[in-house]
Amino acid sequence: MRNYTKRIALGVLAGTLCLGTMTGCSEELDGTKTVATVNGEEIPMGIVSFMARYQQAQTAMMYEQYGLGSTNGMWETVADEESGETYGEQAVDQILEQIELMYIMRDKAEEYEVTLSEEDQAKIQDAASEFMENNTEETIAEIGVTQEQVEELLELTTYNDRMYNPIVEEAEIEITDEEANQSTVTYITVTPEVEEDAEEATEEEKAAKKAEAEEMLQQVQSAPEGDMQAVAELVDADNASATTLSYTSSGEDETDTVPQEVIDAVKDLQDGQVADAVIEGDNAYYVARMDQVLDEEATENKKETLTNDKKQEYYTETTEKWMEEAEIEVDEKVKETLTITDNHSFVFKTEEAETATGSAVDTATGSAVEAE
């Protein structure tokens, strides 16, 4: 959530966001209406609408970049069979919740000594002004946003971004050796070929590949420090390959990708030792070498990952609690005036849209918007 809202803010400030020709009729949105209140503070529809239109454009850009085609047919597809809610309706709900949290963040900012300087405010005002100047009156009316609302969103997202570190600094994070210690292993995988329409390889094919694995094992044992990939290619370049991976030494990490059969076979080995037999796996045979029982570099990387994960968990738990404690009221009738559908699309008009990072006031280059 934090990263998503940060990208929204910078999209306003960097790049050109546009809305081209409309493919469907739509009414101008009344962005002055209050769509929700958070602890008595009103959220105008214009802020929610602007953020929603940005997400439409961002999603369309992502589809194009990854070769997924267009988003036509996506927004009106049912996302929840039980409720009948579409992806478009779901997106509006999620965006409103994100903005509700941003209002709570700003309200709590003083407790965490998070502030915006006069320079920050000036950048926000300049960016919002440039945004308004770069768009037609028709486009602004389609979104239903005012300059003051653009400024409000940029201020909210800046507070949201700057609150992350002070919040997670409160977390009491402990990383145990059992969680962090990493072992590194190199193993050759020999895969029997499966004939077309068959569920598994024939017994003859399995026997042949196991024999190849036995040959590889002998070569590796004769030169334990050698290049295991070279051994694999020498014996069977088409069906064998060597891989070096680290895994949690305790074997308790479900995210590890090293086959369990390999982990079990090398767990009692020392650095540089090779498993004394071919390891049989699920439709594969392995030859394995324990490179490092305790890989210090991999362990430090794992500690960093675990620390970041636990910080994010604390942040999520804290902000969810704030949301539960807040007095939030949503005007469903006003919310229903904002729809994300397939026949009213919003797109970026930049030739290249760069991924933005940093807080909302880090860059102030303006943007333009158009409806399609």
Domain residue spans of the chain: 2-172+308-348, 182-293
User: In 3-state terms, what secondary structure has residue 199?
Assistant: coil
Asked whether residue 282 carries a pLDDT value surpassing 80, the answer given is yes
Structural domain 2-172+308-348, CATH architecture: Orthogonal Bundle (1.10)
Asked whether residue 240 carries a pLDDT value surpassing 70, the answer given is yes
CATH code of 182-293, in short, is: 3.10.50.40
pLDDT band at 13 (very low <50, low <70, confident <90, very high): very low
- Determine the Cα–Cα distance for residues 68 and 57; give it in Å rounded to an integer: 14
Query: What's the pLDDT at 371?
Result: 59
Note the pLDDT tens digit of each residue in 44-99.
Answer: 999 999 999 888 888 888 888 888 888 888 899 999 999 999 999 999 999 999 99
- Percent over 90 (pLDDT), the chain: 67
Per the rule left: phi > 0, alpha: psi between -120 and 50, beta: everything else, 55 is alpha
Partner residues linked to 279 by β-bridges = 286
- Determine the Cα–Cα distance for residues 61 and 67; give it in Å rounded to an integer: 10
Amino acid identity at 90: Q
Note the pLDDT tens digit of each residue in 148-195.
Answer: 999 999 999 999 999 999 999 999 999 999 999 999 999 999 999 988
- Determine the Cα–Cα distance for residues 123 and 13; give it in Å rounded to an integer: 9
pLDDT band at 31 (very low <50, low <70, confident <90, very high): very high
Q: How far is CA 33 from CA 108, 119, 151, 156, in A?
A: 25, 30, 17, 19
